[in-house]
Structure 1
Amino acid sequence: MRSPTEVETQARRARVTRSALQTGFPVVPISRLAERESWRKEVNRPLYHIHKWWATRLGSVFRAIVLGTLADERVNTWDQFYELHNFHDKVVLDPFMGSGTTLGEAAKLGANVVGADINPVSTFLVQQALTRVSADELRRALHYLEETVAPQIQMYYQTPDRVTGEMVPVLYYFWVKEVETPTGEHIALFDRYVFSQHAYPKKHPSAQILCPACWHVFGGRYDLTAVVCPSCDYEFNPQIGPVRGAHVVDSTGVRYRIKDLLPKGRPPRHRMYAMLVRRATGEKSYWSISPADEALYAAAAHRLEQETLPLPTMPVRSGHNTDQARGYHYYYWRDFFNARQLLTLGLLLRGILSYDELQVQEQLLCLFSSTLEFNNMFCSFKGEGTGAVRHMFSHHILKPERTPLENSVWGSEKSSGTFMSLFESRLLKAKAYLDNPFELALADGADSSRGTARATVSCNRPLNTTVVSTWDALQRQPHSALVLNADSRCLPIPDRSVDAVVTDPPYFDFVHYSELSDFFFAWLAPVLRNRYPYFARQDSSDSGEVQHVEPLTFSQQLEGVFTECRRVLRDEGVMAFTFHHSRADGWAAVYQAVINAGFVVVKAYPVHGELRGASPKSGTKDPISLDAVLVCVKRSMVDSVGTSEGAVMSAVTDYQKELESAGMQLSSADHFVIMASQYLVDLQGRQVPMATIITELSRGQSHMAGSLTTNIRVE
């Protein structure tokens, strides 16, 4: 005889209508749309880019996922993608909210949202992104800063015009690290003396060259191998500098390891060697550094010693993402900035803190923190014809830059990565998006792979989302967002209260978000710890972080969060998350977390997840551009997934052909993402040892070079 519990469970299953995501997903149209979005994410989804966060997922993909979790199986997700929706009676949870993509996309569909992140920087930036502040209020605050602070900053970013003598603004200063040999020779760490060229040099061959003898700046072709300095007649090959990889060669030909020449206990010396200015005519010119420019920098350094400013004092803790910087003796976060940057950033922060309206002030604090990414001595020059500043997080590790670029902190709306330009391009556009949360569309004839023919569709109500701090407030307030700084293994949410869980878990392996976010935390925590308890920490890390290089530990950490998701998720609800990894142990770790938490993977869909040319992917031999959308339901709600090895492997082939026929270029790592995700479905929720999963996936991966349709057996 069946127990009452079994009878009740079967009756509940019979009543449940499956979600649209359990029956299908528009892989090709969403991937084409997502590929287009990925070219300019900050333009196409500005709400999630007012501040740096890592692995920010694509809004178009998450709109489709959320819609698929909330709509029933009778709905075609793509047919409904551009329709107005109002899931006012639904609640969507993201336990790893990051930059808030899930929250924004679910709110646009009319749902109430809950976002939790253990990282204080994430919590703060999502709160600020969802908070409505009018453009007029923000412009009033900017005008206040223009009157009180901007002149103090701009005076340190100017130089006499070399022709007219009038003062003109400096856009960028070019610096180079120097080391000293045991014989007393100072060597500037150039690998070549062409320091500025166009992003497409064959079409635009003009470049800027530095003379290593007299440090004069002059123009020439980017590919010249022999030049004569017009200032001192020194003849040299501008393609060859003293740096050879990790080594440097002195004037006598002696070779040294660069790290062996670093000064003890402090970062290397820097030398300023060139600048890019905007003249009164609007023309941009490259000039050498004059004694007046060196005196201006010295004046900034002297004033820094006299001022009392809210500057960071926090040390850089040891970790995989920080040890390369520490290896160059960057032991404190303030070491990442030169004296002029510390002075002007400190003046700007002090000015923001003097603004009386706290809600507006915190929007500007978020913007200030975002500005830090482009104004430090780990930035570099990208070249002409593109955004000039390569920000410090172009690598997942904090890599010391041998030829750093100093940006102009205040700047203008036409500059790159300055407070003014980010105010216009990031903050105001994010607030405008709340009023008109548009969707990206591909115009007729658009080539998504080249980012052309952008079109937008207005199919959402304005985002009048109220940010609340308790579950009770979420229940009382329509269209609200509960934003939590919390360990997602223990959420202040009742049992079976959430309709869907949609998320993107932290990356398994070496990318530790909190090691990187400490860069922002070091500036924000001292000024916000009395307002927000989550900033009253030693750093931005927490013992509850889901982040580890060891797969079993990572799996156990993730299992704790997924177990809590199962508790708060309604029985008929869906948990969907995106994942990709190039190694079998990453997939095995995720699968174990899912099944040990009481879920079963019932579907997996490949979808475009990231621009292949984006840093740091561009330097990867076999980059991944696909994510897998893994669809999970509670084990108690299914008898069997009902798939077979043949059906799943057929799906692998079908997805590969479907995506490639649509014009998407897939790497072998992308093929592995498709194969590995379908394999997790094929396991049908069985308890399989991690070692077995790793062996089977590794075997399949090794055979992919010969055949992309891989037979994988399940023991």
Structure 2
Amino acid sequence: MREKQVQQSYRPIISIHKWFARRPGSVFRSLILSEFAEKELQEAYWEGNRFDGVVADPFMGGGTTIFESLRVGASAVGCDINPMAYWLVRQAVDPIDLDAFRAAGRQVFDELNSRVGELYKTACTSCDREADVKYFLWVKTCACPGCGGLTSLFPGYRVAESVRHPKEVFTCPACDVLQEFAKGDKKACASCGLDLSQGNTRRGKTVCLDCGTEFAHLKEMGGPPQHRLFAIEYQCSHCYASTPGRQFKSPDGDDHRRLRQADELRAASPVSDLIPDESIPEGDETNRLHRWGYSHYRELFSSRQQFGLGILADIIRNVGDRRMRHALATVFSDFLRYQNLLCRYDTYALKCQDIFSVHGYPVGLVACENNLPGIPRVGSGSFIHFVEKFAKAKKYAQAPYETTHNRGAKKLVPTPGESIEAAVVSAEPRPADRAAWLNCSPSHALDLRAESLDAVFTDPPYFDNVQYAELMDFCFVWLRRILADEVEPFRRESTRTAFELTGNRTLGRGLDTFTRGLSEVFVRMSGAMKRGAPFAFTYHHNDAAAYVPLVVAMLDAGFTCTAVLPAPAEMAASLHIAGTNSSILDSVFVCRKREFVASATSAPSAPSVPHPRGSIAAAVRRDVASMKTAGYECTAGDIACLEAGHVAGEAVRRLAAGEWNPHAPVETRMTAVRATVDSLVEGFHREP
């Protein structure tokens, strides 16, 4: 649970590149050590470990299983249909010379700054000297149907709260100036008297400040939204140290001149081929962009961003050393989430929020444009900051550690001999190779040796919770322009594929499609596993129906469920679940082949296999009590997910005890599971 609060601190390796819904590395380390370590988990967890074996993850996503398996000396087999998942895991695992990388990153930064840095300057209002801009703040605009004038769409006029700045900062849309107020002051413009306490846009409607007409702004746009620059946060190297709080200003003539310069540079850009011109396809998440009038990915970036990103991509693709070029391309791809017009400005923390602070495409009315090259050691979200973030991730990969607390003080605990970096090979490795075989392909088609896998640990898609391909295309359409000539998976135009296992209403992928795909993958993995090997995976969903495919897949693969364990998986304060009563807990399903469990439970000399104890209600009570002991009070959403997990586990055991036909039509299999689940739920609610 502590790891989920600051996951990049506990597992810096995830800073390689953004991925969604990453599960805690501590959970998967615990699962792996519980299976293979000779010592008790409480002891082995804090030590360096080394044992031979091959661990597979058919849905490797952000790479947690791969990283934790390589750490303890095992070889790893990872597969994901998404090229971005394949690439980020490869970059995390592939060895690199950190000194050479930092030098290459600095060289690229210097060249980038020399070519575009002038576009990120402004005049300091205190000393009138040139200063570096941290953030440009833009507001969406729309023509008023009443008077035809251009209306700014402000949900509120506050720019900064009086937390990290001594006063509250507001903009007056009528006078187009920034003003500061003490916290208790009346928020009215000193020049025109306009009430600044609330904006002119609310619930999809805007009031024109010139004529008073109220209108639905989305209906009036007719294309991608236009923006108006209204505020700048900057940092002057000459007077910032003596300035209380932050430095804000309204844009002046020179700032607008630089905007015109950026437009001209973009129009005449010699690297226009590096700016994506792909259209945004329909989808459950991308349809939100269509509603706002966006039709092409390039429309999500300002002229200055398009020009600067094109120049940066060109610089990187001309880096001579392949390993450095690929690492810097990964940095480029990751920092795109802070370099677009869907980023928002946090008026409390006074920083840029990246586009993927939620698992979707949030379109805010106020956009935050970040400094693209960046100011060394100032701010975040710029190229220079992401170079260092990547370096820290690779440093951790070379010498991983664990984090503990003693009387409130954080302590790093080295795990000697462990490393995430390993040789990347082109075929299934042997147990002692300590190598990674990474694939960008459908997992059900992996060419695996029979009885070659010592374990499968995975975190499969949670049906329709995250639209991975729709989101990662945002980075992919840029990155493919650097990598397409060198890396085969980047020759596609999109990360979307018919093999992606996510529910999607727009694309007509429902539970039956999800069930078929999940079953094929589980069956393929089962066929390559050694006798007695564990197949363990994490899952949670608010809809009980989304567990039916899991039960079908486990049964089709010949598994029974030997344990269902609770594990923290999310941070309660995460923006994408905050206030939704969603669960922060996963159910960890532990499975083994039915014939092995049957022999293990009947033969005294066979390996010990855990079995669930008691009723579903008792199991849920044990889970809730376990979490309470750890200092967490389960919410109603948590309890509902834990109940669903135990119901699914019991359904597997009951149906496995009878005659299960994996070749029956998927609808027949799903109907049988639903009937058993419904019966268990009904019985559960009658339990004391």
When the two structures are superposed, what TM-score results if normalisation uses the length of structure 2? 0.90
What is the letter of the counterpart of residue 363 of structure 1? A
Q: Is 2:559 aligned against 1:591?
A: no
Following superposition, the deviation at residue 568 of structure 1 comes to 1.3
Select 1:207's aligned residue among 147, 168, 183: 168
2:62 is aligned to 99
Query: How many angstroms apart in 1 are the aligned matches of 2:676 and 2:430?
Result: 46
Residue pairs, 1:364-513, within 5 angstroms = 364-385=328-349, 388-411=351-374, 412-424=376-388, 426-441=389-404, 443-446=405-408, 453-463=409-419, 465-471=421-427, 474-475=429-430, 478-513=433-468
2:258 is aligned to 296
Query: How many angstroms apart in 2 are the aligned matches of 1:618 and 1:644?
Result: 33
Cα-to-partner distance string for 1:88-121 (whole Å, 9 max, x where unaligned) = x201001111111111111111111111111101
What is the letter of the counterpart of residue 591 of structure 2? C
Following superposition, the deviation at residue 584 of structure 1 comes to 0.7
Following superposition, the deviation at residue 423 of structure 1 comes to 1.5
CA separation of 1:432/1:127 partners in 2, compared to 1, >3 Å: closer, same or farther? same
Q: Percent identity?
A: 27
Cα-to-partner distance string for 1:431-452 (whole Å, 9 max, x where unaligned) = 11023200121x2334xxxxxx
1:656 is aligned to 624
CA separation of 1:700/1:170 partners in 2, compared to 1, >3 Å: closer, same or farther? farther
Q: Is 2:71 aligned against 1:111?
A: no
What is the letter of the counterpart of residue 639 of structure 2? H
What is the letter of the counterpart of residue 667 of structure 1? T
CA separation of 1:85/1:643 partners in 2, compared to 1, >3 Å: closer, same or farther? closer
Cα-to-partner distance string for 1:51-93 (whole Å, 9 max, x where unaligned) = 1111111111111012123347xx5323321122111x20100
Cα-to-partner distance string for 1:565-624 (whole Å, 9 max, x where unaligned) = 10111121000000011111111221112112221111010011110001201142x121
What is the letter of the counterpart of residue 440 of structure 1? T
Query: How many angstroms apart in 2 are the aligned matches of 1:455 and 1:701?
Result: 44
Select 2:538's aligned residue among 561, 570, 578: 578
Matched-pair contact (CA < 8 Å) for 2:265–2:307: yes
What is the letter of the counterpart of residue 331 of structure 1? S
2:203 is aligned to 245
Query: How many angstroms apart in 1 are the aligned matches of 2:423 and 2:629?
Result: 44
Query: SS in structure 2 opposite 1:168?
Result: strand
Query: How many angstroms apart in 2 are the aligned matches of 1:701 and 1:660?
Result: 24
Matched-pair contact (CA < 8 Å) for 1:161–1:167: yes
Q: Is 2:151 aligned against 1:193?
A: no
2:515 is aligned to 555
1:313 is aligned to 277
Following superposition, the deviation at residue 476 of structure 1 comes to 9.2
Query: How many angstroms apart in 2 are the aligned matches of 1:627 and 1:112?
Result: 26
Query: How many angstroms apart in 2 are the aligned matches of 1:589 and 1:496?
Result: 25
Following superposition, the deviation at residue 422 of structure 1 comes to 1.6
Matched-pair contact (CA < 8 Å) for 2:54–2:431: no
What is the letter of the counterpart of residue 47 of structure 1? I
CA separation of 1:390/1:273 partners in 2, compared to 1, >3 Å: closer, same or farther? same
CA separation of 1:107/1:712 partners in 2, compared to 1, >3 Å: closer, same or farther? farther
Query: SS in structure 2 opposite 1:277?
Result: strand
2:605 is aligned to none
1:255 is aligned to 214
Matched-pair contact (CA < 8 Å) for 2:188–2:197: no
What is the letter of the counterpart of residue 652 of structure 1? V
1:24 is aligned to none
1:679 is aligned to 647
CA separation of 1:467/1:546 partners in 2, compared to 1, >3 Å: closer, same or farther? farther
Following superposition, the deviation at residue 124 of structure 1 comes to 0.9
Query: How many angstroms apart in 2 are the aligned matches of 1:476 and 1:502?
Result: 16
Cα-to-partner distance string for 1:161-203 (whole Å, 9 max, x where unaligned) = 22322211000000000011223032211121112225x68xx
Following superposition, the deviation at residue 241 of structure 1 comes to 1.3
Query: SS in structure 1 opposite 2:314?
Result: helix
Query: SS in structure 2 opposite 1:501?
Result: strand
Cα-to-partner distance string for 1:385-431 (whole Å, 9 max, x where unaligned) = 46x1111012322122210000001112321111111222x211111
Q: Is 2:192 aligned against 1:234?
A: yes
Following superposition, the deviation at residue 710 of structure 1 comes to 4.3
Query: How many angstroms apart in 1 are the aligned matches of 2:596 and 2:526?
Result: 12
Residue pairs, 1:631-650, within 5 angstroms = 631-639=590-598, 646-650=614-618
Matched-pair contact (CA < 8 Å) for 2:569–2:584: yes
CA separation of 1:225/1:558 partners in 2, compared to 1, >3 Å: closer, same or farther? farther
Q: Is 2:304 aligned against 1:344?
A: no
CA separation of 1:181/1:505 partners in 2, compared to 1, >3 Å: closer, same or farther? same
Following superposition, the deviation at residue 696 of structure 1 comes to 7.3
CA separation of 1:222/1:548 partners in 2, compared to 1, >3 Å: closer, same or farther? farther
Matched-pair contact (CA < 8 Å) for 1:311–1:346: yes
CA separation of 1:700/1:492 partners in 2, compared to 1, >3 Å: closer, same or farther? closer
Query: How many angstroms apart in 2 are the aligned matches of 1:374 and 1:584?
Result: 36
Query: How many angstroms apart in 1 are the aligned matches of 2:680 and 2:615?
Result: 16
What is the letter of the counterpart of residue 219 of structure 1? E
What is the letter of the counterpart of residue 538 of structure 1? E
Task: Tell me the matched-pair count.
Answer: 652
Query: How many angstroms apart in 1 are the aligned matches of 2:672 and 2:253?
Result: 68
2:507 is aligned to none
Query: SS in structure 2 opposite 1:113?
Result: strand
Mean Cα deviation higher: 636-645 or 475-484: 636-645
Query: How many angstroms apart in 2 are the aligned matches of 1:475 and 1:607?
Result: 31
Matched-pair contact (CA < 8 Å) for 1:208–1:222: no
Q: Supply the RMSD in Å over aligned alpha carbons.
A: 2.4
For structure 1, which runs of at least 5 residues remain unmatched after alignment?
A: 1-34, 447-452, 704-708
What is the letter of the counterpart of residue 61 of structure 1? V
Cα-to-partner distance string for 1:452-478 (whole Å, 9 max, x where unaligned) = x32221124242633323225x33973
CA separation of 1:712/1:115 partners in 2, compared to 1, >3 Å: closer, same or farther? farther
Query: SS in structure 2 opposite 1:629?
Result: strand
Q: Is 2:498 aligned against 1:538?
A: no
Cα-to-partner distance string for 1:330-385 (whole Å, 9 max, x where unaligned) = 11111110000011111111111121111011100000101101110000011344
Following superposition, the deviation at residue 133 of structure 1 comes to 1.5
Query: How many angstroms apart in 1 are the aligned matches of 2:632 and 2:678?
Result: 25
Following superposition, the deviation at residue 288 of structure 1 comes to 0.3
Cα-to-partner distance string for 1:238-279 (whole Å, 9 max, x where unaligned) = 2221112111122444321121111x2x31110000000101
Cα-to-partner distance string for 1:123-142 (whole Å, 9 max, x where unaligned) = 11111111221221012212
Select 2:583's aligned residue among 595, 615, 624: 624
1:217 is aligned to 178
Query: How many angstroms apart in 2 are the aligned matches of 1:116 and 1:566?
Result: 15
Matched-pair contact (CA < 8 Å) for 2:561–2:649: yes
For structure 2, which runs of at least 5 residues remain unmatched after alignment?
A: 505-509, 602-608, 661-668
CA separation of 1:271/1:566 partners in 2, compared to 1, >3 Å: closer, same or farther? same
Query: How many angstroms apart in 2 are the aligned matches of 1:619 and 1:223?
Result: 28
